[in-house]
Amino acid sequence: MTATKTDAPVSATRDKRPAPAGEPPGSARSERVSALVQQHGALAVLLVVSLVASFSFDSFATGDNISNMATSSAFLAIVALGMTFVIITGGIDLSVGSLFALGGVLAAWGSRHGTLVALLLPLVVCGAVGVVNGLLVARSRLAPFIVTLAAMLGARGLMLALTDEGANTYLIGKGSFLAELGQGSTLGLGNPVWITLALFVAGAVVLRRTRFGQHVYAVGGNEDAAALMGAPVARTKILVYTLSGVTAGLAGALNAAWLASGVTILGNGMELEAIAAVVIGGTLLTGGLGYVSGALVGVLLLKVIQNVINQIGSLDSSYQQVVSGAFLAVVVVAQTWLGRRRQLM
């Protein structure tokens, strides 16, 4: 009821109106603050960490290091992009790590049959796994975590079957279009970075500016209400798992192109990194709220911390996981508390 000084003009105009069926008094500001923290908290942390790092380590803010960080972030970022959609619908996709590895192997294997096969095969196969995930979640109503956990196992099995139980590493020929796509650079940044940026712009447009995007938010926000309001709940879920499969496969393919081979041991634990990045970036794990840009910031934050840990030298790179886990726990607790406070208001 008591308007604070800072937003006095706003509340003054509001007060002039006769008995508007308005908002609960006093909550507007705290709502805005918590929304701000939710959306941009990770960005602020990223800037602070980067700033401190560039003062502390001479080799941090160099062009080489930044370019390296950007390229190594690109693949995880693409995976996190698809994951963002899944998590906003209130689901989770634990199969992306395996699909990432599978995508890489398929691209390398397919590169012997031409660029088109090399690019399309991972997308089609990983997308198909995503479709199966989506069908089991949306139509059979099985818990997403168990479905995608099984898919993780299945996809890894498929990848091993393709590579003689992991003994066979397919190579991507030098000078091929695929190799150029992964290893070349434009304007000082690696091609994968540009591709990632383009995908994020597209992802943001899809999520924010299309009906499908609205449905993604609606399904995660309140599934029953979304169905009552006419949103195609099952179709939306199937599409997001498909999208997640496709992005994981694409990221794997690009990574293989970058490494010039389909490495079979990659992708372990990548699903957890992707989830951590998405959630740290401000997407609610319970669904209904999230940002594509947040996923990018979350990935960068994780990679910068990893870089810092590497720079310190005396620290083992496994600290990265501890930091991710701790970050995840803190963010989740904060989200739960913020969410509960809002309910009380």
Partner 1 sequence: MAPPAEVLAVRGLSKTFPGVRALDGVDLTLHAGEVHALIGENGAGKSTLIKLLTGVHRADAGDIVFQGRTVSFGTPLEAQKAGISTIYQEVNLIPLLSVARNLFLGREPRNRFGLLDFARMNREAEEALGAYGVRVDVRRPLRSLGVGAQQMVALARAVASEARIVVMDEPTSSLEPREVETLFSVIRRLRDAGIAVIYVSHRLDELYAVCDTVTVLRDGRRVHHGRLAELDRLSLVSTMLGRELGEVRTEGLTKFTGDHHATDAEPVLEARDLKVPHQLHGVSVSIRPGEVVGLGGLLGSGRTETAKAISGALATSSGRVTVAGVPLRAGSTPAAIRAGISLLPEDRKSEGIVPGLSVRENISLAALPRLSRFGLVSEARVDSIVDTFIERLRIKASSPHQKVGELSGGNQQKVLLARWLAMNPKVLLLDEPTRGIDVGAKAEVQKLVDELAADGLGVLLISSDLEELIEGSDRVVVLKDGAVVGELTGDEVTEDKLMRTIAGHAPDGDVLEEAATDG
Partner 2 sequence: MAEATLKTVPLDRARVLQWLQTYGVYAGVALLMAVNIVITPHFLSAENFRTQAVQVAPVIIVALGMALVIGTEGVDLSVGAVMALAASVTALYLGYGLLPALLVVAVFAAGIGLANGALVAFVGVQPIVATLALMVGGRGLALVLLPQLEDLRNPALASLGSGDVLGIPYLILIAAVPALLVAFTVRRTTFGRQLLAIGDSRPAAQLAGLPVRRVLIVVYVVCALLAAVAGVLATARLGASDPTSLGNLMELSAITAVVVGGTPLTGGRVNIAGTVAGAVLIQLLTATLIEHDLPPSWTQIAQAVVIVCAVYAARGRGKR
Q: With binding defined as CB under 8 A, does residue 221 bind partner 1?
A: yes
Among 115, 214, 310, 311, binds partner 1 (CB under 8 A): 214
> Is residue 23 close enough to count as binding partner 1 by CB under 8 A?
yes
Tell me the helix, strand and coil percentages in the chain, rounded to 5: 75, 0, 25
Q: Is 6 in the site for partner 1 (CB under 8 A)?
A: no
Q: Binding residues for partner 1, how many (CB under 8 A)?
A: 37
Which is it for strands 185-186 and 189-190: parallel, antiparallel or unpaired?
antiparallel
Does the footprint of partner 2 cover residue 285 (CB under 8 A)? yes
Is 268 a binder of partner 2 (CB under 8 A)? yes
Q: What minimum distance in Å lies between the beta carbon of 39 and partner 1?
A: 12
Q: Is 13 in the site for partner 2 (CB under 8 A)?
A: no
Q: If binding is defined by CB under 8 A, does position 275 make contact with partner 2?
A: yes
Does 35 contact partner 1 by CB under 8 A? yes
272 binds partner 2 (CB under 8 A): yes
Of 161 and 201, which CB lies nearer to partner 2 in the complex structure?
Answer: 161
CA angle (270, 93, 200) in 5-degree steps: 75
The minimum distance between CB 341 and partner 1, in angstroms, equals 12
Calculate the CA 201 to chain-centre distance: 13
Concatenated DSSP letters of 272-339: HHHHHHHHHTT--TTSS---HHHHHHHHHHHHHHHHHHHHH-SS-TTHHHHHHHHHHHHHHHHHHHHH
Nearest to 10 by CA among 36, 31, 30, 29: 29
- Could you tell which of partner 1, partner 2, none binds residue 19, using a CB distance below 5 to 8 A set by kind? partner 1
Contact between 216 and 88 under an 8 Å Cβ cutoff? The reply is yes
> Under the rule (CB under 8 A), what is the footprint of partner 1?
14, 17-24, 27-28, 31, 35, 205, 208-211, 213-214, 217-218, 220-222, 224-231, 284, 288-289, 342
